[in-house]
Amino acid sequence: MLENVFTWLKNHSFEIFGAVTGLFSVYFSIRRSFLVWLLGMLSSAIFIYVYFSTRFYAGSILQLYYVFLCFYGLYLWKIQKKEDRIVVSNIPRKKLFISLIILLLATTFLGLFLKFYTDSPIPIPDAFTTVASFIASWMLAKKFIEQWFVWLIVDAISVGMFISQGLYATAMLFAIYFLMGCFGYLEWKKELLRFASQQ
């Protein structure tokens, strides 16, 4: 039994390392620290390989997007810090509406592509979580508090996805992400209310 555990740990060491760096990335996201972007780059680079090797093709593309987004987020937060305006805010209604339309259309097209042109085992959930994560990542860079709601939905669906494919360390990671997301929302809500009270 113990030998099987060590064998599993050895065979999934890359996935586990990516999961650990991902957890620290979310922690620093809650703290609104620049380290979220640095650790995010590392974790995403690892999961490009993990996802591709398990046929989560849309997820692999998403992780590649994360790597580039981390540079953008780091640059944006650095500018905000220089201008002393790193603040949490609500997403404008127009941008929220556009985001929902993009989510619906992009999920439909990507899901159909994955279903008919790849061997993806779960094309629709893979497509939805990928598109939703694109949107949530952009919202994180902009510091819109609603990004936490999107992440919570993505995390909940992802747990089931990864369990179905035997990626238990990644499934556990997303379960922890879900719990951290709840805490993250509460922390950002406090910051939003604090900023509003100063206006």
For 73-82, the pLDDT digits (tens) are 888 777 666 5
Number of domains in the chain: 1
Residue appearing with tokens 């987020």:
73
138 and 105 Cβ atoms separated by less than 8 Å = no
Q: Tell me the two tokens of residue 146.
A: 């609603």
Closest residue by Cα to residue 93 from 105, 85, 101, 82: 101
Question: Domain range holding 174?
Answer: 2-197
- Percent over 90 (pLDDT), the chain: 32
Q: What is the pLDDT of residue 79?
A: 66
Average pLDDT over residues 151-166: 92
Contacts for 60 with CB less than 8 Å, ≥ 6 apart: 47, 48, 51, 52
Closest residue by Cα to residue 172 from 4, 18, 53: 18
Average pLDDT over residues 21-48: 85
Residue-wise pLDDT for 127-136, tens only, equals 999 899 989 9
Task: List helix spans (H) across the chain.
Answer: 2-11, 13-30, 35-53, 57-82, 93-117, 123-142, 147-164, 168-197
Confidence of residue 88 (pLDDT cuts 50, 70, 90): confident
Q: What is the CA radius of gyration of the chain?
A: 17
Confidence of residue 4 (pLDDT cuts 50, 70, 90): low
Q: In degrees rounded to 5, what are phi and psi of residue 174?
A: -70, -30
DSSP annotation of 144: B
43 and 29 Cβ atoms separated by less than 8 Å = no
pTM equals 0.79
Helix (H, G, I), strand (E, B) or coil at 54: coil
Give the span between the Cα atoms of 160 and 183, in whole angstroms: 21
Q: In Å, what is the CA distance from 199 to each residue of 9, 19, 80, 193?
A: 52, 39, 18, 10
139 and 153 Cβ atoms separated by less than 8 Å = no
Q: In degrees rounded to 5, what are phi and psi of residue 72?
A: -65, -45
Average pLDDT over residues 46-58: 82
Average pLDDT over residues 39-53: 87
Q: Tell me the two tokens of residue 142.
A: 């902009």
